[in-house]
Structure 1
Amino acid sequence: MRATRNPARRTAAAALAVVAGAALAACAPTSSGSASAEVVEYVADYPSYESEAALVQASDVVVRGIVIATRVEQLLPEVSTGGDPVSNPQAGLDPAAAAQVLPVVVTVATVEVEQVLKGDVAVGSQVEVSQLGGRHGGKVYVDEETVPLQVGGTDYVLLLADHGADVPLDLVNPQQALYTVSPTAGLQPASTVPGVAIPTTLERIEALAAQ
């Protein structure tokens, strides 16, 4: 666990600084009489993109690969009360109040790289990709915009932001930057939300990345 990692980054993960408004909801008891896990709903604000070109340009790394493992981490955001409320939700808070900021739960997927479309990554290597949410401490943390990566045979194309050594990559947008690869249908957006995904192809992404 990297408890000191600052999740308030100026990328898709910048949304993690906005989880102070997370809602809590207890699930109803199961038929056996025991209560199911409590659900914590994250409310996040992500950058969005209007075109394939903008999406690829915002990405430091674009790869095709398969998820081979996942793990859940709990991150404690760095406390900072400086700046202004627009750039820092903790600005102006009493230090004691700011220190009570909620931890952030993420799921980190290990992806085996099959093809590199952009970035300094080698085919056959492994990259780690962080997504908001996961099961931790008897609770389930969810972000309605996140499509969790699945271990197994699913072939993904991921457009990722790089935050430096020893820090997982993350999607530049949780819905627009994740695709599955079908032998018959080509590249398909992982998100099923109408009007959000940007239709594209592997060839188109590769051409844009080469510009």
Structure 2
Amino acid sequence: MNARRNVLVAGTAVLAAFAAVGCSAENSSHAAKAAAGPDTVTYHADYPAYSSLDDVLKTSDAVVEGTVVGTRVQKVLPDAPAGDNPATNPQAGLSPVEAKAARKAAEENPVIVTVSKVKVTRALAGKVAVGDTIEVSQLGGTYHGVAYQDEDTTLLAKGGQRYVLMLAAHGKNPYDLLNPEQALYSVKADGTVKAVSVNGFDGAGKVDQLAAKAGRIAGSRTR
């Protein structure tokens, strides 16, 4: 059985979990597991969009070239929301009974993410060094026999493929892509950088050219 779940992404994909109390789905993952046939939950997420590759680079906390050396899939439960603003707390104004029911629904429908370990082969921007292993979180993955899929996300693959990733940092949490389509690029054997998605930006050039551009943008921040 296929289910569709809406996810509000507050900033970037890893933060989806913190808005999960506002999610909706036609069927829960439990219902999907019990149904015959393929078990799939499709996420529909709203991501921040950028007008150019330069804008993505300007916003990135780190830009790296690297390869995937390991992955894991995990569920992320939302933090309990606080405050009286319905825009940031979907439970604002609910009675204690209603708020408890909303929290239970969120716990029964966790956000599933794939966390990839990426070995950095080149640091183009940010506080990352060659040889570091960083973690990058993406929405979706197969968890307990159910495939959770985000319409816009292409999960990073092991096998030696080099990627250029434009990342947002969240302290102790894994990095995530600023936008799953506009911040994910593959690197060809000759160093050419190409968008993985048709909705990514063309004209990134080669890694050396992109590194020079990222360096200029980083330098302009400090002036």
TM-score tier by shorter-chain length is 0.7 to 0.9
Q: 1:149 aligns with which of 114, 131, 156?
A: 156
TM-superposed deviation, 1:37: 3.5
Q: 1:190 aligns with which of 184, 188, 196?
A: 196
- For residues 74-98 of structure 1, the C-alpha deviation after alignment (integer angstroms, 9 at most, x for no partner) is 1111121534333333433431122
- For residues 96-152 of structure 1, the C-alpha deviation after alignment (integer angstroms, 9 at most, x for no partner) is 122121211000000000000111111011000000000112211000010110011
Paired with 2:63 and 2:218, the residues of 1 have a C-alpha distance of 8
Matched letter for residue 146 of structure 2: K
**After TM superposition, which residue ranges in structure 1, 4 or more long, deviate above 4 angstroms?**
7-10, 23-26
Partner of 1:114: 121
Do structure 1's residue 158 and structure 2's residue 161 form an aligned pair?
A: no
Do structure 1's residue 208 and structure 2's residue 209 form an aligned pair?
A: no
Q: CA RMSD in A?
A: 2.5
Do structure 1's residue 172 and structure 2's residue 178 form an aligned pair?
A: yes
- For residues 50-85 of structure 1, the C-alpha deviation after alignment (integer angstroms, 9 at most, x for no partner) is 022221121101100000110001111112153433
Matched letter for residue 11 of structure 1: G
SS of residue matched to 2:67: strand
Equivalent positions of 1:33-112 (< 5 A) are: 35-80=36-81, 82-93=83-94, 94-99=98-103, 100-101=105-106, 102-112=109-119
Paired with 1:209 and 1:50, the residues of 2 have a C-alpha distance of 18
Change (3 A) 1:205 1:60: same
Partner of 2:11: 11
TM-superposed deviation, 1:35: 4.2
Change (3 A) 1:104 1:118: same
Paired with 1:10 and 1:87, the residues of 2 have a C-alpha distance of 9
Paired with 2:135 and 2:201, the residues of 1 have a C-alpha distance of 24
Paired with 1:207 and 1:69, the residues of 2 have a C-alpha distance of 32
SS of residue matched to 1:148: coil
| Identity rate, percent | 42
Matched letter for residue 129 of structure 2: A
Q: TM-score, normalised by structure 1?
A: 0.82
Do structure 1's residue 126 and structure 2's residue 133 form an aligned pair?
A: yes
Task: Name structure 1 gaps, 5 residues minimum.
Answer: 1-6, 27-33
Task: Name structure 2 gaps, 5 residues minimum.
Answer: 1-6, 30-34
| Residues 9 and 47, structure 2, Cα contact 8 Å, conserved in 1 | no
Paired with 1:89 and 1:182, the residues of 2 have a C-alpha distance of 44
Moved more, 98-107 or 7-16: 7-16
Partner of 2:146: 139
| Residues 108 and 131, structure 1, Cα contact 8 Å, conserved in 2 | yes
Partner of 2:32: none
Q: Which structure is higher in helix share?
A: 2
Aligned length: 194
Paired with 1:92 and 1:68, the residues of 2 have a C-alpha distance of 46
Matched letter for residue 11 of structure 2: T
Paired with 1:42 and 1:89, the residues of 2 have a C-alpha distance of 19
